[in-house]
A and B are shown apart, each in its own frame.
Chain A
Amino acid sequence: MLGQVSFSLPQLLSSFGGLMSVPTLLMIIVGVTVGIMFGAIPGVSCNMALIMFIPITFSMPSDLAMTLLLAVYTGGMSGGLVSAVLLNIPGTPASVATSFDGHPMAMRGEGGKALGVGILSSFIGGVTSCIVLMLLAPVLANYAMKFGPFEYFAVSLFSLTLIGGLIGDSLIKGLVSALLGMCVSFIGLAPLTSVPRMTFGFHSFETGMSDVALMIGIFAIPELVRFAVDGSSDDGEVIKFKKTKGFGISMREYFSHWKNIIRSDLIGIGVGILPGIGGSVCNILSYIAAKKSSKHPEKFGTGVVDGIIASETSNNASIGGALVTMLALGIPGSATTALLISAMSMHGVQPGPMLFLREPALIYTIFAAILISNLVMIIVETKGINIFARMLLVPNSILLPLVVMMCMVGAYTTNYSMFDVACVVVFGLVGYFMQCAGLPLAPMILGFILGPMTEVNLQRALQSSRMSLTPLFTRPISLFFVILTVISLVWAVFGKRIKAKMQKRGG
């Protein structure tokens, strides 16, 4: 098998040694810190930070350049949890699910604990996925290649049925929200045929709506509008927070969630490996999985650590997963890894199966850089908990307008277009009225992301099979997900009845 290489501990240790110089460590600390800041500012994503850092790395040797960029990537992926917990506005699409339980905890005065749990989970997700990357990259990468259009379609279909798990009290309202998200995703040129859909003749609509604009719009703006409409005074709004020591949670309590940690970790790695899915889906999927298998699913959304563990473990675990396909096959699974590949080729390094054989030293430096960055990340963020949490002391009348302004800057910089800023405002109003009508917002994001994935892959699948659906049931992986889909659907519709019957029988 191409890219197969046996893991060598001495080589890893010597790479560690190579990075253990004061300037290099300082560089990692700066990279991680800036990454965290960019991740924490809603809308200004990890990609933005990478784009800024790439020119700086031109003058560096390739191993140092990759080290710095991976430090930024690691920081950016976990920084999103800060604003998700404290402001109820996810800093990146990868931390949407973190806000479900993180913010209610912050409102109760447990912001420090919520952050601590998130940080610890980010660390565990990041480190374990890196270890998997070290040991299994070529094997896993080849497995990921088995996923063709039929498999992707089946996975998307299965994920769509999981939306039921995100819905609060009303199934109908949740579905309306998800369908709304799918409708928005259809705006633009249709995949494959390039037919303009719902563009009303505007060219700006042709590239479709950006996920960042949608996310900022429906999560950030309604907070501001509601505050303005309620007109409550500042004094009553200020939330207390308890100063926390360490992570705000005992190791024994944290690791009592070991099942959740392992499950979320696997979901993160598994989804991360598949090109084109990544962190923005896996955090929601593992949240739903944690909720479904929990003994107290009704407590999810009210502020339990389980939800934060699920979301933050999986989104950081997806980093290792995404790097598997990037390094072992030279295939970028996301915009972020595409940027990393572009940066590597600037240094004359082409990721691909031969990289493991041709430049083993660089590969081990990459492993070491991820591990050290995670270590730096956990230290910087733990030191920062009490500083971050002070954000809650700022009166909303000052904080929210500033946050919204930063959101607008973030939306602008994703495509350098004012159109996205206008989208934020429009989506913001949509989000506000949805909240007024009691429609949950999270299903909309999932619908928006999964809608096009389902559509494109179904079209591709039918194209390759000449309009036959049979392969969906004859290919083992797609059949597996189709069965899961059916089970999930049956459970969503009849689950309550089945449970009640079983209880009766048991009683």
Chain B
Amino acid sequence: MKKRSMALLLCLSMLMTLVLCSGVAWADAGSEDGTPEPVDWPKRTITIQTTEPGGDMDYMARLLAKKMNEDFGVNVVVANNEGAVPPIRNLIAADADGYTIWMGKTSLPIEKALGSMDDIDLNEEVTFVGNLVDNPALCITVKPDLGVSTINELIELSQSKPDELHITDNIGSNTNVTCMMLEQAGAQLTEVDVGGTSAKMAAFLGDHCEVMVCSYPSQKDYVEAGEFVVLGQISAERNPMYPDVPTLKEQGVDIVFDTSLFVGVKAGTDPAIVSFLADYLKDIVENDEEFADEVGTAQYMVPAWRDGEEVATILDDQYQLLVDIGFAEE
């Protein structure tokens, strides 16, 4: 008797695991307010495919999941993947029913340049829904004891002692592109591929690298305390959240690489669903003050709506930029 009840208990616990893992535990069925909806979507759990936990895409995916859960009453699961390409592969492998959403970033052409998505024709496989935010975050930073306060001074200093200064690189990312453009601008730095944001901070704090290319929010505290000196932003325009930091372009050094986050679904998804989703997102981006406040204060991102076609154009332009600097092949 005991054996049987124990087995039953195990069965139950396993079922529970299955239920929890499939993510339907907190799903309510349908919307409750009874307002007529133009399309019969969403009715069940939505999955947002994105990259590693902790980054800007993960943050946006989770914020979007929270919004959609509140507004539609369905459960929204964020699926994290290692790398920028696996989320696309998962999207392509899913059904074109709008229940799998891809949170992507306009630095994606770097992956294309590296050849890790040679078999994917994005414009064939994906329908871009729209751009949510611009994330002009990447900055070039040094410590005060280096004695430079502008990008030109840094370039001159590096030329006076070639390859002696180390810069935090991260191969296959926009940091990598920045390092390359900096080199083309005349800087003579030794690039050390230390890894992602946290590894860059560790390498810079521990004086293993004298120059850091890193996003602003993660170093904000140090900048405010005067421990770090930000030489400039990589973006075309100053980020309104820290307007005192000049862009590199303003200082006469032509290093611009903008990034923004967008949403896509699988090509072939019902156009009614795509336009419904686009309208919904556009409304959040343009009218939701809470959203603007959250992405602004927490992540220093700027809400910016662009439709799907514009996103596709931006991706093409970014690739062309990589070709121009010799990072990618025509």
B 145-170 binary contact with A (CB < 8 Å = 1; else 0):
00000000000000000010010000
| Nearest CB of B to A205, in Å | 12
Q: Is A435 an interface residue (CB 8 A)?
A: no
Contact between chains at B14 and A402 (CB < 8 Å): yes
Q: Is A23 an interface residue (CB 8 A)?
A: no
Chain B: CB-nearest residue to A415 = B81
Contact between chains at A338 and B62 (CB < 8 Å): no
Contact between chains at B17 and A409 (CB < 8 Å): yes
Q: Is B116 an interface residue (CB 8 A)?
A: yes
Alpha-carbon distance between A270 and B247 when the two chains are bound, in angstroms = 40
Interface residues on A, range: 35 or more
Alpha-carbon distance between A35 and B40 when the two chains are bound, in angstroms = 37
From the candidates A208, A338, A405, name the one contacting B14 in the complex (CB within 8 A). Answer: A405
From the candidates B3, B25, B116, B166, name the one contacting A395 in the complex (CB within 8 A). Answer: B3
Known: A44-B17, A54-B62, A145-B202. A342 touches B53 (CB 8 A): yes
Contact between chains at A350 and B190 (CB < 8 Å): no
- Stretch in contact with the other chain, from B28-36, B123-131, B221-229: B221-229
Main SS of the interface on chain A? helix
Alpha-carbon distance between A444 and B201 when the two chains are bound, in angstroms = 32
Alpha-carbon distance between A498 and B227 when the two chains are bound, in angstroms = 52
From the candidates A54, A208, A406, A466, name the one contacting B163 in the complex (CB within 8 A). Answer: A466
Q: Is B299 an interface residue (CB 8 A)?
A: yes
Known: A339-B54, A342-B53, A464-B192. A275 touches B297 (CB 8 A): no
B 37-58 binary contact with A (CB < 8 Å = 1; else 0):
0000000000100001110001
Contact between chains at A350 and B221 (CB < 8 Å): yes
Contact between chains at A58 and B14 (CB < 8 Å): no
Contact between chains at B202 and A353 (CB < 8 Å): no
Contact between chains at B82 and A207 (CB < 8 Å): yes
Interface residues on B, range: 35 or more
Q: Is B142 an interface residue (CB 8 A)?
A: no
Q: Which residues of B contact A (CB under 8 A)?
A: 2-3, 6-7, 10-11, 13-14, 17-18, 20-21, 23, 25-26, 47, 52-54, 58-59, 62-63, 65-66, 69, 78-83, 85-86, 89-90, 114, 116, 119, 163, 166, 171-172, 190-195, 198-199, 201-203, 205-206, 208-209, 217-218, 220-222, 224-225, 227, 294, 297-299
Contact sample, A vs B, 24 pairs, CB 8 Å cutoff? A2-B225, A44-B17, A52-B20, A146-B206, A148-B208, A192-B171, A192-B193, A194-B114, A206-B85, A206-B116, A207-B82, A339-B53, A346-B59, A350-B217, A350-B221, A352-B218, A352-B222, A354-B224, A390-B2, A398-B10, A409-B17, A460-B192, A464-B192, A464-B209
Cβ-closest 4 pairs across A and B: A338-B54, A145-B206, A148-B208, A354-B221
Q: Which residues of A contact B (CB under 8 A)?
A: 2, 37, 41, 44, 47-48, 51-52, 54-56, 58, 142, 144-149, 189, 191-194, 203, 206-208, 275-276, 329-333, 335, 338-339, 341-342, 345-346, 348, 350, 352-355, 390-391, 393-395, 398-399, 402, 405-406, 409, 412-413, 415-417, 456, 459-460, 463-464, 466
